Amino acid sequence: MGGLALIARQLGYQVSGSDQNVYPPMSTQLEEQGIQLMQGYHKENLSTKPDLVIIGNAMSRGNPEVEAVLNQNLKYVSGPQWLSEHVLQNKWVLAIAGTHGKTTTTSMLTWILEDQGFNPGFLIGGIPLNFGISARLGESDFFVIEADEYDTAFFDKRSKFVHYRPRTAVLNNLEFDHADIFPDLDAIKRQFHHFVRTIPGEGLIIAPENDRNIEDVLNMGCWTPVEKTSINTNAHWNAQLIEPDGSQFEIIHANQSQGTVNWTLTGEHNVYNAISAIAAARHIGIVPRDAINALQSFKNVKRRMEVIGKIGNVTVYDDFAHHPTAIKMTLDGLRKQAGHEQIIAIVEPRSNTMRMGVHTETLAKSLANADLAIIYQPDNLDWDLSALLNYANNIEIIPSVDTIINKLKSIAPQGGHFVLMSNGSFGGIYQKLLDML
């Protein structure tokens, strides 16, 4: 929604918006663009009688502002529909979908296009450090978008991505997530199938070779050419790892070497993200070697294993982890880079799926590469985290942020890597930890 506000402002509209908790980096980004922010939801926020209200998918019936929109008969629309009608029409849309890696892959692809002078428009669910903003209108025929399977709005229960109509689509991976709206994995596969139905026959789908769930989706019906990606095998697009942590790898396309990526990122998940971005860029005419060169200067995304402090012999990372698979891949990449150095994972299970306790066993096992995993259990968590202790012996459950800080204070003299994993503000732990160190 913050990204849509930025694009609407660039189109020349006067934009204001309300949210329950507005915090950096999005709040500062919006204020810098002259967008008025209102804390909380109140009918008075609509006293200016706006010409159009864009309603985000977190809003539901009973929300005071939603009720005011309906009672006052104000014109309203969902974010994805507004984007489709006002921005994406007549654009070559490149969409990145999947359970994991959407934000990072979208940022990589956008940076490749930017580096090659395409000046694309983009909408990303995070702030890529190469740009410093999460969205822009752009000045070209190309628009790169993070394509989310979450539902569109309280009045439109289709996945957001069915509105985007891409010509180039990446299907990164597919796992069960969003347990608050999807009853099972098959329901998510069905939405991905609907997405595939919107991609033209002259378009392109890029997908991993070894993802059975993606294969199930494509087997439901696919009318578009598909190019597969892999690591250390022989798919159409393949990465040969030179360094086991993923910091250096060779790109092979159609059995020919295209060059070597040498960058600061780690983890096989980021290698997959890179292959997909390079393949998508080639679809619009960017040769792989140029895409590889662009990735050498890619700076990742804010809150994606972002180093927020190096104090003494402790490195602190901010990671927007929301799913056990993402946690596992992130810690695996860090372990391969850090060797035997101490890794402490500090996790806030904040996503709807995690808060419902759906991933108890997989969450515990995803933390295996950490020497210690501290899990935050606030009073309002519906899930009894003690069940995690049945599956791992490196987990400690702590009910307050201040107690977590005290625990970390006792560990800090040993040095190592402290990874803060949350998709929220985590009770302000970031600055508290840096201040303590």
39-60 pLDDT, tens digit per residue, is: 999 999 999 999 999 999 999 9
- Where residue 147 falls (left for φ over 0; alpha for ψ -120 to 50; beta otherwise) is beta
The per-residue pLDDT for range 236-257, each reduced to its tens digit, is 999 999 998 899 999 999 889 9
Distance CA 381, CA 63 (A): 22
Contact assessment for residue 105 and residue 273, using Cβ atoms and an 8 Å cutoff: yes
What is the CATH class of 2-74?
alpha beta
Superfamily (CATH H level) for 306-436 = Mur ligase, C-terminal domain (3.90.190.20)
Please tell me the distance from the alpha carbon of residue 229 to that of residue 269, in angstroms, as a whole number.
12
Matching fold, domains 2-74 and 81-295: no
Choose among 24, 136, 103: nearest CA to 298.
103
> pLDDT (tens digit, 0 to 9) for every residue of the chain, 437 residues total?
989 999 999 999 999 999 988 777 778 888 888 999 999 999 999 999 999 999 999 999 999 999 999 999 999 999 999 999 999 999 999 999 998 889 999 999 999 999 999 999 999 988 898 998 889 999 999 999 999 988 999 999 999 999 999 999 999 988 866 667 777 889 999 999 999 999 999 999 999 998 999 999 999 999 999 999 999 998 999 999 999 889 999 999 988 999 999 998 888 889 999 999 999 999 999 999 999 999 999 997 777 788 999 999 999 999 887 678 788 888 988 998 889 999 999 999 876 555 555 567 888 898 999 999 999 988 777 777 888 888 889 999 999 999 999 999 999 999 999 999 987 788 899 999 999 99
Range 81-295 classified under CATH 3.20.20.140: no
CB-count exposure of residue 324 (10 Å: 0-12, 13-18, 19+):
buried
pTM of the model: 0.81
**Residues 6 or more apart whose Cβ sits within 8 Å of residue 47:** none
C-alpha span between 214 and 185 (Å, rounded): 11
Domain boundaries, the chain: 2-74, 81-295, 306-436
